[in-house]
Structure 1
Amino acid sequence: MGRTGYTCIRHVFCSLNVLIWLCACGMLGAGLWMRFSYPYAYGTLVPQHSYASSDVLVLATGCFTFVVAFFGCCGAWFQSRFLLITYFSLVILIFMAEFMLGTLAFVFKDQVGDNMKSQLRYGISEHYTEENMHESGTFSNFWDYIQSTFQCCGVDKYYDWYNIKAWPREERVPDSCCVHRERYCGKQYDNDDRQLNWYQDGCLSAIQIWLVQRLHFVGTVGLVIGFLQLFGLIASMILFCTLIDRRSKRGSTVALCRFWMRAAD
């Protein structure tokens, strides 16, 4: 490869990784803000798996992206074969992880749906509390927001809220399940028809429909990420191979000079 082409690929590759590095810094900042702004917030519908909370996922993704972009940027700038091959290996691992996750999600899609349903029910039963339902970012506030926004109640039906830990031996629902919301509208008494004021549909189907409607956005983001990963793989290999070729030629030139100097002596 000519010097101009090598320099162009090197600068573009380095600039791209600087941009990704800055994005990673932004993700780290957002994750830290979420962690310290809502220290007791779950940020997830499955609090029994705290590693799946939004702040943990953002921080983990930001840290990994920061490290990968650091190897790529430094490898291109300092023309380091070790850093470039490390960058290449990390991107290959990302590709493999994405492929495996996509394959497993497709093969076990029914089991994933059933497991999600049971986990959501468990979260409602064990982690919903009335004390922090008005505190922004908490699990209880999160569920109230979903039910009010999607006009639904519970996972499958409103009876998912019956006899939960927050109100044992009570067949009631949160006030966010009410069509016409008012204080204690989720409670029912003897010979009471308050169930007619509750949303009859569960939230699981509403959440699934919301996700399906946004698959085009997810697909677009996935294509952009895939293109950047592919470019990173190709560019890092070109830079790596060019460095090996240049240093081998330089070594051959030095050896030839030494040979002629010895011959002259």
Structure 2
Amino acid sequence: MAASNTIRYFLFAFNFLCWIAGLGMFAIGIWLRVDPALSPVVTLELGWFYTAVYVIIIVGVVTIAIGFLGCCGAMRESPALLKIYVCLLALMFILEVIAGILGWVWRNELDQWVRNSFSRTFNGRYIDDFSDSFQDAVVYFQRRMDCCGLNTPEDWENWQEVDSCPCPIDRYVNQYDWTEKCQEDRNDYTLSVYKSCWDNISLWLKNHIIVIGIIGFAVGAVQCLGIYCGIKMIRQFDKGGEDGFLSIIKSPIKAKKAKKEVPLETVTTTKDEGESLVKEKDQPPPKEPEVEAAVTTKEPTAPAEETEPLSPSSPAEEAEPPAKENEA
């Protein structure tokens, strides 16, 4: 009983943390989508950014549902809720494993895909063709990443505004005027700001992929533990017999136990003379009188069959000699 309570409280605590994590992911996704302060980033005309935000929101909602089902199923001792919880958690674990394997196998293609997505955004287009929010987003992004241009600062040769600069100057030489320094030192690659944005993005992705992989492995291990605890709780709470997805496992065990139960229990005792008596509990003992009755009925019939032909034959045999004497 103590072990079952430990599993139940562990399952409740685990799913409560999952529920909080789901709320956090959902809140972050909504924040990235609607916060006005992040509008320069959101309006970068990169479709995968919106896709990533929506994936975060969906995963958050599913995690909230899993945590809710796990908590309620553990505390209310409901096998139905726990079965749904185990199925959803196992499905999420399988999808995570598939995503991790695909990400590792196609990691080089993923790198090229991100590069192409940025190239399609800037290639053959004047910067003034974009909206003001997009231009602000470009400057904001390059400031955050300490870079200029996708590959080199020459990517901005088509910048049309003379009094503005797409590449921010180094924060360590910010004593110069922004526009003046940008126009004078556009080809000065000794400044730390004049680095390829793609190189910085690739480095950032590689560093975070390692961290994400470690976190994903830890989360997967905890999910496997949650699945195991959920199955243990279902086996303890599910007393319905043959219903449920564990009936395939339970039915052979019950059949074996039923075969071992002997319906008749025999007790043998010996007398001093060497005879044994067998006492059966479930079988009534009316057979011995019937056998005796059958034997007693057969005993009088046997002498009757022997005496019937003898009684008429004796006078016939006595009457035959006088008939022969008359014939002579």
Normalised by the length of structure 1, the TM-score is: 0.71
Q: 2:203 maps to what in 1? A: 209
Match of 1:156 among 144, 151, 155: 151
Query: Which amino acid in the other structure matches residue 98 of structure 2?
Result: M
Match of 1:175 among 166, 169, 186: 166
**8 Å CA contact retained: 2:111, 2:202:** no
Q: Report the 3-state secondary structure (helix = DSSP H, G, I; strand = E; otherwise coil) of the residue aligned with 1:208.
A: helix
Shift of 1:227: 2.4
Residue 127 to residue 213, structure 1, CA distance change in 2 (3 Å): farther
Matched, 1:225 2:219: yes
Residue 45 to residue 85, structure 1, CA distance change in 2 (3 Å): farther
Aligned equivalents of 1:21 and 1:233: distance in 2? 16
Q: 1:11 maps to what in 2? A: 9
Q: 1:97 maps to what in 2? A: 95
Structure 2 residues without counterparts, runs of 5 or longer:
243-253, 255-328
> What are the equivalent positions in structure 2 for 1:100-111 lying under 5 Å apart?
100-111=98-109
**8 Å CA contact retained: 1:154, 1:161:** yes
Query: Which amino acid in the other structure matches residue 117 of structure 1?
Result: R
Shift of 1:11: 1.6
Q: 2:188 maps to what in 1? A: 196
> What are the equivalent positions in structure 2 for 1:26-105 lying under 5 Å apart?
26-38=24-36, 40-43=39-42, 47-54=46-53, 56-105=54-103
**8 Å CA contact retained: 2:40, 2:137:** no
Aligned-residue CA RMSD (Å): 3.5
Aligned equivalents of 2:40 and 2:182: distance in 1? 26
Matched, 1:131 2:123: no
Aligned equivalents of 2:79 and 2:203: distance in 1? 47
Aligned equivalents of 1:236 and 1:61: distance in 2? 21
**8 Å CA contact retained: 2:4, 2:233:** yes
Matched, 1:144 2:139: yes
Larger RCO (alpha carbons 8 Å, 6+ apart): 1
**8 Å CA contact retained: 1:159, 1:171:** no
Cα deviation code 1:168-215 (max 9, x no counterpart): 7x8999433434564445876xxx763226754311121222333445
Aligned equivalents of 1:240 and 1:62: distance in 2? 26
Aligned equivalents of 1:187 and 1:216: distance in 2? 36
Q: Report the 3-state secondary structure (helix = DSSP H, G, I; strand = E; otherwise coil) of the residue aligned with 1:248.
A: coil
Aligned equivalents of 1:40 and 1:237: distance in 2? 45
| Count of matched residue pairs | 233
Residue 88 to residue 115, structure 1, CA distance change in 2 (3 Å): same
Aligned equivalents of 1:102 and 1:214: distance in 2? 14
Aligned equivalents of 2:119 and 2:126: distance in 1? 10
Query: Which amino acid in the other structure matches residue 23 of structure 1?
Result: A
Shift of 1:57: 4.1
Aligned equivalents of 1:193 and 1:84: distance in 2? 65
Q: Percent identity?
A: 24
Query: Which amino acid in the other structure matches residue 221 of structure 1?
Result: I
Residue 61 to residue 149, structure 1, CA distance change in 2 (3 Å): same
Q: Which has the larger radius of gyration?
A: 2
**8 Å CA contact retained: 1:68, 1:90:** yes
Q: Report the 3-state secondary structure (helix = DSSP H, G, I; strand = E; otherwise coil) of the residue aligned with 1:226.
A: helix
Shift of 1:40: 4.3
**8 Å CA contact retained: 1:44, 1:52:** no
